Amino acid sequence: MVMDPIFFYRNPASAVAEGTLQGLRVAIQPNLAVEGWPTEAGSRALLGYTAPEDATIVRRLRAHGAHLSGSTYMSELGFGLVNSRAGAALQSREADVELVLDFMGEGRLAAAGAGVYGFKPSYGLMSRYGLVGLTPSMECCGVLSADLGGIRAVLQAVAGGDGLDFSVPEEEAPDFAPQVIDPPMISVGVLAEARGGLNDGQNEAFALASAGLAEVGFAVREVSLPEWSLFEVVHRIVGSVEASSATGRYDSVRYGPRAPGAKNWNEMYLLSRGADFDTLLKSYLIQGAFFQFESCEAFQDACRLRARLVGEVQRLLSEVDFLALPTVLDGVASVAGASILLDATYTAFSSTLFANVTGQPVLYMPPGPATEMGAAAGAAGGACGLQLAGPRLSDGSLLALGEYLQSTGRGGE
């Protein structure tokens, strides 16, 4: 049998409902439950698991008339981009929108790799009901498309509470209707510390992009977050602990291959879990179990640090309306490789993971060839996209900002 180059599962059916998403082809990942579809989330531990019902996101996409193209290959439980084909269905024009799990920036870096827009919604914007996840407090479904209008339409359709996930606030979902942008009334803070890891070409490209924001009239100024480097520490500790807990249910009892030769159930768990998870995820889970069982104080410290970082970002966003940060793209190739170490994975996502710690929305703008960023990045041999971040649940305004920039030819094709 020839393996499909992109799709883990292709939907043989076509859309039946009418609605705002009629005609829109949406590719998802096999970590989003669709009744009757194999939902293995890229892990041998879920081999043979078929979802018994639709995830809320899926139900809403279908209700609004979207056609689900299928589910694309993904990394194990969405961690990193190893073995992932996220973005490929957009590049091959087999889908108009892709939903890609964003746990440390996977959605945004996949968008960068495909040269499209990538939107990481606020924590609590969409129901997680039916999302086979790893880190409930950090991950969400990123929305990727070459067209910001497609992202807007999908967010409008799927956002808001469903009574099934209480982490979605009870207040009304953000309004995604187009908004008028008056640049002089909007301030953008360029985060100084986020430029720390850039090479010369990337630095130059990001400087040009920032200058471009000022040129179209936004009030741009530099802002500082001295504790920027702590985002990675917090993400590693909190994320690994949540992942360790979340994968406890994969015990090979109801699905997934059961390792032979166990003398009792305890051995069966250990052997099966040892055989089912890949090295990268396994090393992450072991790290999480260490903090759970052996160093809970470090985990508690990380939780306190996380609260402080959230507060710091809120402070910055009380001074400016949005933040602008670079996205380092040159890690994308390595993180999509077949084998990768934990440290290298974190290095590759160091420019994106902050938003998974804070839960704020981020729009990734690709460096279009017409923009200064694209040209400078190309000249320097590196690539650097722009991330725009807003306060939690400012998703609608952030999209409007992106659309305004798109209309001026800045930060996108």
Partner 1 sequence: MEFEAVVGLEIHVELNCATKLFCDCPNRPGDEPNANTCPTCLWFPGAVPRLSRQALEKAALVCLALDAELQPRSAFDQKVYYYPDQPKGYQLSQAHLPLARGGNIKITGEDGESQRLRIHHVHMEEDVAKLVHEVEGRVPISLVDFNRAGAPLVEIVTQPDFRTPYQAMEFLKALRSQVRYVGASECNMEDGTMRCDANISIRPCGTMQMNTKVEVKNMNSVRHVGDAIAYEMGRQIAAVQTGEAVVLQTRLWDPDKKATLPMRAKFEAPCIPDPSIPAIELSSEWVERMRAGLPEMPAARAERLVQQYELTREEALLLSAEPETVDYFETLVAQGVAPRMGLHWMTTQLLPAVRERQQNLVTSPVTPMRLAALLRLLADDAINAKAAREVLTTLFTSHETPEAIVQAQGFSQISDRTAFDDIIDRVIDEQISAVANYRGGQERALGFLVGQVMQASRGKANPKVVRQRLLEKLDEAR
Closest to 140 (Cα-Cα) out of 347, 361, 329, 345: 361
Closest to 82 (Cα-Cα) out of 332, 341, 350, 336: 336
- With respect to partner 1, which residue has the nearer C-beta, 55 or 383? 55
Smallest distance, Å, CB 184 to partner 1?
39
Query: The tokens 């802002």 sit on which residue?
Result: 223
Question: What does the alpha-carbon distance between residue 24 and residue 8 come to, in Å, rounded to a whole number?
Answer: 20
Question: What does the alpha-carbon distance between residue 291 and residue 300 come to, in Å, rounded to a whole number?
Answer: 9
Task: Answer whether 191's CB lies under 8 Å from 225's CB.
Answer: yes
The 42-81 contact track toward partner 1, x by CB under 8 A, reads ----x--x-xxx-x--------------------------
* 41 is an interface residue for partner 1 by CB under 8 A: yes
Q: Which of 23, 192, 265, 343 binds partner 1 (CB under 8 A)?
A: 265
- With respect to partner 1, which residue has the nearer C-beta, 238 or 328? 238
- With respect to partner 1, which residue has the nearer C-beta, 191 or 268? 268
Q: How many residues bind partner 1 (CB under 8 A)?
A: 41
Stated as kind and residue range, the H or E segment containing 100 is strand 97-102
* 17 is an interface residue for partner 1 by CB under 8 A: no
Task: Answer whether 373's CB lies under 8 Å from 384's CB.
Answer: yes
The 180-219 contact track toward partner 1, x by CB under 8 A, reads ----------------------------------------
Stated as kind and residue range, the H or E segment containing 140 is strand 140-145
Task: Answer whether 228's CB lies under 8 Å from 309's CB.
Answer: no
Q: Which of 79, 129, 206, 354 binds partner 1 (CB under 8 A)?
A: 129
Task: Answer whether 220's CB lies under 8 Å from 335's CB.
Answer: no
* 287-306 residues near partner 1, rule: CB under 8 A: 292-293, 296, 299, 303
List residues near partner 1 by CB under 8 A: 33, 39, 41, 46, 49, 51-53, 55, 127-133, 135-137, 163-167, 241-242, 245, 247-249, 251, 253-254, 265-266, 269, 292-293, 296, 299, 303
